[in-house]
Amino acid sequence: MIKTSVEPWIEAPLRAFVADAGVLLALLLHPSGQVLAQHGFFRAVDVMSACALAAAIHASSAELGRQLEGKPFSGLHAGNARQIYLAEAETARGPYIFLTVFDQASSLGLVRMYFEEFRATLAAAAPPPVAPQEPVLNANFEGELNRNLAELFGRA
Amino acid sequence: MGNGGRHGPSGFPFPISDFPFPLGMSLVNYQTREITCKIVYYGPGRSGKTTNLHFIYGQVPEDRKGKMVSLATQTDRTLFFDFLPLDLGMISGFTTRFQLYTVPGQVYYQATRKLVLQGADGVVFVADSQARQLQENIESFQDLHQNLAEQGVDARGIPLVIQYNKQDLPRELILTTAELSDAVNFRGVPDFPADALHGPGVFETLRGISELVLKRLSAGAAR
């Protein structure tokens, strides 16, 4: 069950992939390392770490592929008891990175097969980028920021 | 990573997700009212970027931070990046999180710096206050501007603060903040003297860049 509140267009393809492929964890992220959607994680900070590493693996393996074969590698698989599969999904909003973790309940073949389906449904569902219209934060956010930072650093 | 059975610091069992409006590149999720910002610590080799993150990591309580990830060489020089996720708590009704990254400072890691810089919402330039490092500071600052320009980012528009680190060293070895400011801070951005090893200035620097990054969100500016 996916308990994230994601944009509706991401949620359905991700839910289908997780159910069909039987994976433990799934992450969709921007190449800069920002998370777009997740399944299976409990802590936001853990998701951010996984995204940072996934973006790094993707960037470095893509560059290695470009140097070796003249084009980026299209997918990366590693692991034994718990395995990872990392690949790219292109949408109207640009390329996204997809990372999934699975165990013996699934297989690389299944994951690859359903990833292709996921990639297609994601691309079909993606709306064009929308520019923000309104300011997000209040103009006087500094008080809260300073209070929170002071608390974070034990200075409150 | 994974099913640790613990809830997120905001109280949500699953607070993460996403996105949709790349504001700068800050990810703003209006549905779950979450903001995630990427801050990159940039600067020449051995200026103290990783030390800043280590100090922050040591200060912040467990439930407000993730694991610090360091992709380093055997001699602890940063090879790819360091990464520290922080939960800043609620600001204007949004759960606000920062992702702190460092880049490797050595000249030959240019490609890596570009990758880490991608999508940054704000940059902390960590300068080494030692007089003999002045040229390295200047070259690294130029390198930052060049890498931003290559990514289509106007360096004059991105939130930036400068930290003059190692101000604890003997006076005869270092430049004053005024001298460093003259040499590096030609844009007149907020700058902070610091001793990242022991802490002074680290908090102030983080607060400075946080304010600038969040100001963009309060102004509704988009990249």
Q: What angle do CA B20, B23, B25 make, to 5 degrees?
A: 90
* A80 φ, ψ (degrees, to nearest 5): -130, -80
- pLDDT single digits (tens) B9-60: 332 222 333 333 333 457 777 777 889 999 999 999 999 999 999 999 999 9
Asked if the C-beta of B1 comes within 8 angstroms of chain A's C-beta atoms, the answer is yes
Total tally of structural domains belonging to chain A: 1
Reference B32, options B17, B50, B48; nearest CA is B17
Say if residues A41 and B12 touch (Cβ distance below 8 Å).
no
Q: What tens digit of pLDDT does each residue of B165-209 get? A: 999 999 999 999 999 999 999 989 999 999 999 999 999 999 999
Q: What is the mean pLDDT of residues A101-123?
A: 96
Report pLDDT for B3: 33
**pTM for the complete prediction?**
0.84
Q: Kindly indicate the confidence band of residue A138, based on its pLDDT and cuts at 50, 70 and 90.
A: confident
**Distance, CA of A49 to CA of A35 (rounded, Å):** 10
Contacts of A64 in chain B (CB under 8 A): none
- A118: exposed, middle or buried (C-beta count within 10 Å: 0-12, 13-18, 19+)? buried
Summarize the confidence of residues B67-77 as an average pLDDT. Answer: 82
Domain coverage including residue A36: 3-152
pLDDT score of B1: 36
Q: Is B83 on the interface with A (CB under 8 A)?
A: yes
Spatial CA neighbour of B117 closest among B25, B179, B192: B25
Q: Is B97 on the interface with A (CB under 8 A)?
A: yes
Higher pLDDT: A142 or A134? It is: A142
B15: left (phi over 0), alpha (psi -120 to 50) or beta: alpha
State residue A155's pLDDT score: 81
- Is pLDDT at A74 greater than 50 in this prediction? yes
What single string gives the DSSP state of each residue in A86-151?
Answer: EEEEEETTEEEEEEEEE-TTS-HHHHHHHHHHHHHHHHHHPPPP----S-SS-TTTHHHHHHHHHH
Q: Do A32 and B214 touch (CB under 8 A)?
A: no
Using a pLDDT cut of 90, give the percent of chain A over it. Answer: 55
Which of A6, A46, A145 lies closest to B18 in CB terms? A6
pLDDT interval class at B71 (50, 70, 90)? confident
Q: Which CATH number goes with the domain that contains A124?
A: 3.30.450.30
- Determine the pLDDT at residue B21: 34
- Cβ-proximal residues to A110 (8 Å cutoff; 6+ apart), any chain: A20, A21, A22
First to last CA, chain B: 32
pLDDT digits (tens, 9 = 90+) for B117-159: 998 999 999 999 999 999 999 999 999 999 999 989 988 899 9
- Between B5, B36, B94, which is nearest A137 by CB? B94
List of residues 6+ apart from A124 with CB closer than 8 A: none
**pLDDT band for position A78 (50/70/90)?**
very high
Say yes or no for a CB contact (<8 Å) between B220 and A45. no
Cβ-based contacts of B28 with chain A (< 8 Å) = 132, 136
